[in-house]
């Protein structure tokens, strides 16, 4: 499979699933625009594709997101084929003042961020799509979580935000099909990334993350599902959630 001549935007591309996805797309000869809140975005040298990095992008800011997407549109000379939205945060939300603050942060990044990135990508695709051309159909893959469909003790705010990501995915899939957009969601369980460090230290949370095959999956395993949803092999799939969790009950 080659993605030569196609461009993709990846948010949260500095680490975890985002970093793994950037590398895979570059291996497949794609042009990859990498966004992250971090000031340092890794450069993957020696691969077939081309990488353009945009550090310090706050996805909770519509202004920030629009500015970057405008830059991408102005300089891009190949087909914009997809968006992989990985950027997110994880915070505990107990019933306390600190929990209130964390809830607001979760909503700003995980929900408003998903709204901002998806809707700006929709505008980008709509302005560049050639009506009637199947090859101009683009794909969005949002990274949700098993928290999109389950409750996890102590993580109510995160769970609510990831439920919202799935809800937005399903609504966008219905609304934007006529614009040539497929919108799907991958739902990992616990992934071996910096985000989950410390979150499985308590027995109730560890039990919630227990999978039949394995309890922790690798970022590369999630990336494989993402790349499938970006490609032509999933051309009839939209508005769906693909679970990558090692066999959660």
pLDDT at 203: 53
- What average pLDDT does range 239-247 have in this prediction? 90
pLDDT at 190: 84
Average pLDDT, the chain: 90
Q: Using CA atoms, how far apart are residues 183 and 237, in angstroms rounded to an integer?
A: 8
- What average pLDDT does range 151-159 have in this prediction? 90
- What average pLDDT does range 138-157 have in this prediction? 93
Tokens of 123: 């505008």
Tokens of 126: 């709509």
| 34 Rama class: left (phi>0) / alpha (psi -120 to 50) / beta | beta
- What average pLDDT does range 26-42 have in this prediction? 98
Give the whole-number percent of the chain exceeding pLDDT 90.
71
Q: What is the DSSP letter of 55?
A: -
Closest CA to 138 of 127, 128, 125: 125
Q: For residue range 60-112, list pLDDT tens digits in order.
A: 999 999 999 999 999 878 889 999 999 999 988 876 667 788 999 999 999 99
Q: How confident is the model at residue 210 (pLDDT cuts 50, 70, 90)?
A: low
- Is the pLDDT at 219 greater than 80? The verdict is yes
- What average pLDDT does range 147-164 have in this prediction? 92
Q: How confident is the model at residue 134 (pLDDT cuts 50, 70, 90)?
A: low
User: For the chain, which domains are there?
Assistant: 6-244 (3.40.50.720)
Instruction: Please confirm, yes or no, whether 54 is among the known catalytic residues.
Output: no
Please report the sign of the dihedral spanned by the C-alpha atoms of residue 142, residue 148, residue 153, residue 154.
positive
Tokens of 219: 């970022």
From 11-15, 144-148, 166-170, the region with the lowest mean pLDDT:
144-148
pLDDT at 246: 78
- Say what the pTM is: 0.91
The residue ranges of DSSP E strands in the chain, in sequence order, are 6-11, 31-35, 50-54, 79-85, 138-143, 181-188, 190-191, 216-217, 241-244
Q: Using CA atoms, how far apart are residues 100 and 188, in angstroms rounded to an integer?
A: 26
pLDDT at 212: 54
Task: Give the Å distances, CA to CA, from 85 to 20, 64, 151, 185, 186.
Answer: 13, 15, 22, 9, 10
Q: Classify residue 239 as exposed, middle or buried by CB count within 10 Å of its CB (0-12, 13-18, 19+).
A: middle
Q: Using CA atoms, how far apart are residues 173 and 183, in angstroms rounded to an integer?
A: 5
pLDDT at 79: 86
pLDDT at 131: 62
- Is the pLDDT at 20 greater than 60? The verdict is yes
Q: Using CA atoms, how far apart are residues 54 and 41, in angstroms rounded to an integer?
A: 8
Q: Which of 69, 158, 209, 248 is catalytic?
A: 158
| Cβ proximity of 18 and 41 under 8 Å | no
Who wins on pLDDT, 207 or 77? Answer: 77
| Cβ proximity of 78 and 5 under 8 Å | yes
pLDDT at 186: 98
Q: Which residues contact 100 (CB under 8 A, 6 or more apart)?
A: none
pLDDT at 143: 98
């Amino acid at each position: 499979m080659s993605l030569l001549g196609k461009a993709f935007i990846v948010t949260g591309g500095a680490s975890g699933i985002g970093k793994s996805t950037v590398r895979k797309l570059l291996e497949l000869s794609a042009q990859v625009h990498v966004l992250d809140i971090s000031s340092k975005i890794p450069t993957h040298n020696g691969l077939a594709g081309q990488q353009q990095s945009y550090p310090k992008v706050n996805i909770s800011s519509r202004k920030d997101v629009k500015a970057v997407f405008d830059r991408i549109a102005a300089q891009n000379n190949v087909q914009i084929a997809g968006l992989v939205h990985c950027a997110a945060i994880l915070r505990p939300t107990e019933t306390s003042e600190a929990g209130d603050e964390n809830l607001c942060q979760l909503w700003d990044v995980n929900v408003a961020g998903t709204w901002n990135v998806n809707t700006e990508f929709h505008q980008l695709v709509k302005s560049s799509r050639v009506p009637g051309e199947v090859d101009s159909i683009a794909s969005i893959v949002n990274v949700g979580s098993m928290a999109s469909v389950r409750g996890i003790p102590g993580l109510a705010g995160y769970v609510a935000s990831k439920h919202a990501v799935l809800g937005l995915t399903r609504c966008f899939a219905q609304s934007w099909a006529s614009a040539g957009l497929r919108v799907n969601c991958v739902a990992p369980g616990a992934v071996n990334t910096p985000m989950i460090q410390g979150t499985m230290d308590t027995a109730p949370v560890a039990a919630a993350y227990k999978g039949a095959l394995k309890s922790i999956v690798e970022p590369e395993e999630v990336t494989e599902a993402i790349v499938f949803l970006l490609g032509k092999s999933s051309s009839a799939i939209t508005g769906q959630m693909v679970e990558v969790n090692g066999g959660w009950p």
